[in-house]
Amino acid sequence: MKKLHRTRPFLRAYGLLPHRLLGAATRTLMRASRPRWAVRAAIRWWIRRGGIDVSQCAEQSWPTLEAFFLRRLRAGARPLGAGFVSPADGLVVGTGPIEQGTILQVKGSPLRLGRVLAARPEEVAALAGGRYVTIFLTPDGYHRLHMPCDAEVAEVRWIGGRSFPQNVDALRVIPRIYERNERAALRCVAGSGAVFWLVLVGASLIGGIELAGLQRAAWARPRGFAWGRRFKKGDELGWFRFGSTVVIAAPKDMLEGTCDFAGAAVRVGQRLG
């Protein structure tokens, strides 16, 4: 039997819930460090529930549930493959060609790429014939993001929005989630000059998006933020405070092999193209 929070009636009604209030309440719970026994018990339960391999973690003790969800990996736990690699651990819930300025959500629901990226028509046109990959970060997984190739993040575009869940059941029931949830669209320029995009999509409950070395107030504003920071392949780029999604949109030559990944689990550093 499907759990209540993944049933069609619950998901259809999710838009009526107070997303910001739910997020604030969840953040308070996740950041509580007392009673210590309860925090430890909750972390042990989550490890068992998700089958999480904590031997890969850089630390083995966490003061809060939030600290556990933002755990770091030990050095070498995610070796870097050749080419353009996955920026996150997660499940590939969508991949395919970019056609007529659209990408597809689960069950073939079309999404306007210009709205997902907050991009101008000429920026969308430059991606024609390219490919996209959508990676869902599960609540059980590793929530930090890494740069998929040597590149500069030229600009961050913040798009305010809701906090709908993004599991596969939600994508089948709630239309256009990636156009409606809060997100940060990162316009990246590779060493070759090719422009690709990483879109960090906030999810239900906490859903917080953070960028490495930046305060949210610097970039989470209606006008774009010119970052201009260079990253090496594999460098930490940011993190999510709970499960969420990354949408990659790139020229075709960068993501040649991604058609083989639909439905697959991928890890940071795994080659995508």
Q: What is the pLDDT of residues 22-52, one digit of tens each?
A: 888 888 999 999 999 999 999 999 999 999 9
Q: What's the confidence (pLDDT) of residue 260?
A: 67
- Give the C-alpha separation, 123 to 131, whole Å: 14
| Domain ranges for the chain | 4-69, 90-266
pLDDT, mean of residues 90-108: 87
Sort 177 into a burial class: Cβ within 10 Å, 0-12 / 13-18 / 19+.
buried
Task: Give the CA angle between residues 187, 190, 196 to the nearest 5°.
Answer: 40
Q: What's the confidence (pLDDT) of residue 10?
A: 87
Q: What's the confidence (pLDDT) of residue 27?
A: 86
- Give the C-alpha separation, 227 to 271, whole Å: 26
Active site amino acids: 89, 146, 244
Whether the predicted pLDDT of 126 surpasses 90: yes
| Backbone φ, ψ for residue 199 (5° rounding) | -110, 115
Q: What is the mean pLDDT of the chain?
A: 91
pLDDT, mean of residues 95-122: 89
Query: What are the C-alpha distances in Å from 163 to residues 177, 203, 268?
Result: 9, 5, 25
75 within 8 A of 86, measured Cβ to Cβ = no
* Nearest of 166, 110, 163 to residue 138 by alpha carbon: 166
pLDDT, mean of residues 158-183: 90
Query: What are the C-alpha distances in Å from 266 to residues 114, 115, 119?
Result: 26, 26, 27
Helix (H) or strand (E) holding 225: strand 225-231
More confident call, 88 vs 3: 88
Residues above pLDDT 70, as percent of the chain? 96
Q: What is the pLDDT of residues 77-89, one digit of tens each?
A: 999 999 999 999 9
Whether the predicted pLDDT of 64 surpasses 90: yes
